[in-house]
């Protein structure tokens, strides 16, 4: 598993920069994975696709030891859908929370995080995903969040990232926010990234890398 300890991984970059490619490479090593698949783009190799939380719940019940499932939410109400999914997964992880022997971790991957967990406008009754950002490690739920925009993602995710990937950027507010974290030298390199090139930040350290393409 890429996410060994129920960590929170962020993947950010402009359209076509290589985020989903990176995410798809990560998901190969996951044993228990739910994808919040806003664009319905993960219905491929070994990923089962569902269109409602009821379907998802049934699929998880039947495959609880091992699953790779993409939930395609209703787009217009995706903020509420991510909240409800988060509450549901936390409930299903109750055995892990209670230290029941054999209870396993799981990973939730969220596409278009800026759209479903936005920096502003979230009301207190929609904080299910925020709860996973802050306490997900205790629930055994790792997170992978993907977004074209960095500054447009709610701070509860950004402030809790254990590892982040930054591909090429084109939004000045995002570039300024990233600059504040890593400094100008890294920004200069980032601004000349080709598609699929990224820098990875972990515990304050920066490393450069590239998606493996085939
Ligand atoms: N293995 C590969 N080899 C070469 N090119 C690839 C490979 N996988 C994906 N691509 C191309 O790289 C481009 C960017 O990929 P990707 O879908 O990861 O971008 P993205 O950052 O997720 O974009 P968006 O924000 O629009 O979803 C796509 O045009 C895709 O066709
Ligand atoms: Mg993508």
The reply to whether 2 falls in a domain is: no
pTM of the model: 0.95
pLDDT at residue 165, rounded to an integer: 98
* Nearest CA owner, ligand 1 atom 1: 213
Q: How far is the CA of 18 from the centre of ligand 1 (A)?
A: 5
The reply to whether 163 falls in a domain is: yes
For the record, the structure tokens of 182 come out as 């890593």
pLDDT category of residue 213 using cuts at 50, 70 and 90: confident
Question: How confident is the model over 127-175, as pLDDT tens digits?
Answer: 999 999 999 889 999 999 999 999 999 999 999 999 999 999 999 999 9
CA-to-CA distance for 171 and 184, rounded, in angstroms?
A: 16
Q: Is the pLDDT of residue 81 over 70?
A: yes
Q: How many domains does the chain have?
A: 1
pLDDT at residue 4, rounded to an integer: 58
CA-to-CA distance for 85 and 213, rounded, in angstroms?
A: 32
CA-to-CA distance for 19 and 198, rounded, in angstroms?
A: 9
Contact 39, 193 (CB under 8 A): no
Q: How far is the CA of 12 from the centre of ligand 2 (A)?
A: 10
* Nearest CA owner, ligand 1 atom 26: 15
With the most atoms of ligand 1 within 8 angstroms of its CB, the residue from 10, 13, 15, 16 to mutate is: 16
Contact 173, 151 (CB under 8 A): yes
Q: Tell which atom from ligand 1 comes closest to the C-alpha of 13.
A: 21
Q: Is the pLDDT of residue 120 over 60?
A: yes
The reply to whether 3 falls in a domain is: no
Q: Is the CB of 16 under 6 A from ligand 1?
A: yes
Question: How confident is the model over 7-25, as pLDDT tens digits?
Answer: 999 999 999 999 999 999 9
- Percent of the chain having pLDDT more than 90? 90
Look at the chain and count its residues: 214
Q: Is the CB of 214 under 6 A from ligand 1?
A: yes
35-50 average pLDDT score:
91
The reply to whether 1 falls in a domain is: no
39-54 average pLDDT score:
91
- Percent of the chain having pLDDT more than 70? 98
pLDDT at residue 28, rounded to an integer: 85
CA-to-CA distance for 2 and 7, rounded, in angstroms?
A: 9
Residue 31 phi/psi, 5-degree rounding, is -95, -30
Q: How far is the CA of 20 from the centre of ligand 1 (A)?
A: 7
pLDDT at residue 92, rounded to an integer: 96
pLDDT at residue 197, rounded to an integer: 98
Q: How far is the CA of 147 from the centre of ligand 2 (A)?
A: 8
Question: How confident is the model over 51-69, as pLDDT tens digits?
Answer: 999 999 999 999 999 999 9
The reply to whether 166 falls in a domain is: yes
Contact 13, 19 (CB under 8 A): yes
pLDDT at residue 3, rounded to an integer: 52
Range of the domain at 47: 8-210
Q: Chain-wide mean pLDDT for the chain?
A: 95
pLDDT at residue 1, rounded to an integer: 46
CA-to-CA distance for 4 and 70, rounded, in angstroms?
A: 21
Angle value at C-alpha 80, between 106 and 95, nearest 5 degrees: 30
The reply to whether 188 falls in a domain is: yes
Q: Is the CB of 15 under 6 A from ligand 1?
A: yes
Q: Is the CB of 39 under 6 A from ligand 1?
A: no
**Pick from 115, 147, 154, 148: nearest CA to 132:** 154
The reply to whether 127 falls in a domain is: yes
User: Domain containing 182 — which CATH number?
Assistant: 3.40.50.300
């Amino acid at each position: 598993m890429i996410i060994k300890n129920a960590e929170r991984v962020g993947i950010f970059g402009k359209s076509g920069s290589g985020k989903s490619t990176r995410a798809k490479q990560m998901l190969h090593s996951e044993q228990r994975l739910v994808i919040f698949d806003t664009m319905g783009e993960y219905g491929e190799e070994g990923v089962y696709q569902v269109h409602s939380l009821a379907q998802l719940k049934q699929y998880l019940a039947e495959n609880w030891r091992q699953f790779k499932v993409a939930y395609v939410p209703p787009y217009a109400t995706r903020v509420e859908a991510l909240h409800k999914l988060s509450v549901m997964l936390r409930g299903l992880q109750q055995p892990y929370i209670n230290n029941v022997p054999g209870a396993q971790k799981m990973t939730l991957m969220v596409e278009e995080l800026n759209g479903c967990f936005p920096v502003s406008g979230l009301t207190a009754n929609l904080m299910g995903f925020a709860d996973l950002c802050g306490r997900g490690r205790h629930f055994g739920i790792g997170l992978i969040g993907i977004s074209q925009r960095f500054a447009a993602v709610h701070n509860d995710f950004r402030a809790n990232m254990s590892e982040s990937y930054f591909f090429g950027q084109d939004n000045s507010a995002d570039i300024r926010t990233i600059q504040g974290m890593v400094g100008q030298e890294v920004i200069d390199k980032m601004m000349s990234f080709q598609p699929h090139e990224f820098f990875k930040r972990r515990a304050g350290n920066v490393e450069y890398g590239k998606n493996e393409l085939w």
